[in-house]
Amino acid sequence: MLISKTPLRISFAGGGTDIRAFYGVHGGAVISAAIDKYVYVALHKRFDGRIRIAADAVEEVERVGDIRHDLVRAVLEATGIRGGVDIAIFSDIPSAGTGLGSSSALTVGLLNACHRYQGRAVSQRRLAEQACEIEIDVLQAPIGKQDQYAAALGGLRHYAFHRDGAVDEEPIRMAAERLEGLQRSLLLFYTGITRSASAILRRQTDDAARNMEYWMRIKAQCETMRRALEDGTGGETLGAILHEGWEWKKRLADGITTPAIDEWYGQALRNGATGGKIAGAGGGGFLLLHAEERHHAALREKIGLPALDVRFDRLGTRAAACLD
């Protein structure tokens, strides 16, 4: 049996500028971090040539083309697996519509497992590139590129998306003590609302020309956030950058926020949070907050949602054979 482990991600600035409709004209930039919440893929050889997939639903088929799960079907086609496998998919958190890049983490992790299963050593960067090809080009998902790279590479990084489609990345350089302090200042609250990121992103893309002023501000904010992280700017400034970005993001399309989200966020600001945002495209999923650790207990009590501490993942996707 072979198992892959692939991190989810949170983004701090620039989200949405990694979509082709924007970066193809203006170039894009994102700062994001892989976190210690994972999607796992287990792959095991079958004796009978059939394919069994256990994910949100279970299906068993004779041919790859009969698989209903779009991502699994596309990855098996891309990697040349024709049959004779059991695939099980599970995750540390709800697996869809949470804003933490779970679909791309699944794509990267399944690619990693399938390549390793067939004896191929594929670099993390190539896994990210191939995941983008499958999700964006093959399946025509209206998504960006940051999720695939964060899942594949891990770490806290600045990504630049060039007009020709090339992607450059650099680690955010922080002293160990400050990096630890950043992690201890972050909280994720699960709203219990799941939504289709694709639907929200389509609306953002359709309205891109009308909202270009906000898109350009969101892109420029990436450099401001980078300086705040690397140059030691205080936490209040970092929270203010998150807050400002969230205020701009809400103007990009209907459905990015809701009255319930606004109420939770308002409670957060009244109880010690310096800023925050809904992770991912918006509309639900996880609420990311920045606050000094001394305020965390009050935030948990007042907001009243399930909460997660945040730790960064440094390794990105990995895979290993088990019990062979």
Do 224 and 239 belong to one domain? yes
Do 165 and 211 fall into the same domain? no
Residue 234 reports pLDDT greater than 70: no
Q: Which two tokens stand for residue 224?
A: 């401001």
Same-domain check for residues 162 and 183: no
**One domain for residues 166 and 42:** yes
Residue 25 CB contacts under 8 Å (≥ 6 apart), including other chains: 163
**pLDDT over 80 (residue 298):** yes
**Which residues share a beta bridge with 31?**
13, 158
On whether the CB atoms of residues 204 and 16 are closer than 8 A, the answer is yes
Domain encompassing residue 136: 2-173+313-321
Whether 235 shows a pLDDT value over 60: the answer reads no
The single-letter DSSP state of residue 312 is: B
Task: Say if residue 61 is in the same domain as residue 184.
Answer: no
How many domains does the structure of the chain reveal?
2
State residue 282's pLDDT score.
75
Given a cut of 80, is residue 210 above it in pLDDT? no
Residue 281 and residue 222 in one domain: yes
**How many helices and strands, by DSSP H and E, does the chain display?**
11, 12
pLDDT at 324: 56
Q: Looking at residue 200, what is its pLDDT?
A: 64
Verify that 138 and 38 share a domain, yes or no.
yes
Instruction: Give residue 41's pLDDT band: very low, low, confident or very high (50, 70, 90).
Output: very high
Instruction: Report how far apart, in Å, the C-alpha atoms of 195 and of each of 39, 132, 139 are.
Output: 19, 21, 19
* pLDDT for residue 323 is more than 70: no
pLDDT of residue 109: 99
Which residues have C-beta within 8 Å of that of residue 99, sequence separation ≥ 6?
197, 278, 279, 280, 281, 282, 284, 285, 286
Q: What is the CATH number of the domain that holds 63?
A: 3.30.230.120
Judge if 136 and 204 occupy the same domain: no
- The position carrying tokens 């929200």 is 200
Q: Which residue has the tokens 């999700």?
A: 135
Residues 57 and 201 in one domain: no
Regarding whether 141 and 193 lie in a shared domain, the answer is no
Task: Indicate whether 73 and 212 sit together in one domain.
Answer: no
The predicted-structure confidence for 94-125, as pLDDT tens digits, reads as follows 767 789 999 999 999 999 999 999 999 999 99
In whole angstroms, give the CA distance from residue 300 to residue 283: 21
Ranges of H-type helices in the chain: 20-26, 70-79, 102-117, 124-132, 146-153, 176-184, 197-206, 212-230, 235-249, 259-270, 296-303
Q: CB 49: neighbour CB atoms within 10 A? A: 11
Q: Are residues 164 and 261 in the same domain?
A: no
More confident residue, 235 or 81: 81
Q: Inform me whether the pLDDT recorded for 224 exceeds 80.
A: yes
CATH of the domain at 217: 3.30.70.890
Which token pair is 2?
């072979």
Over the stretch 178-203, which tens digit does the pLDDT of each residue have? 999 999 999 999 999 876 666 666 66
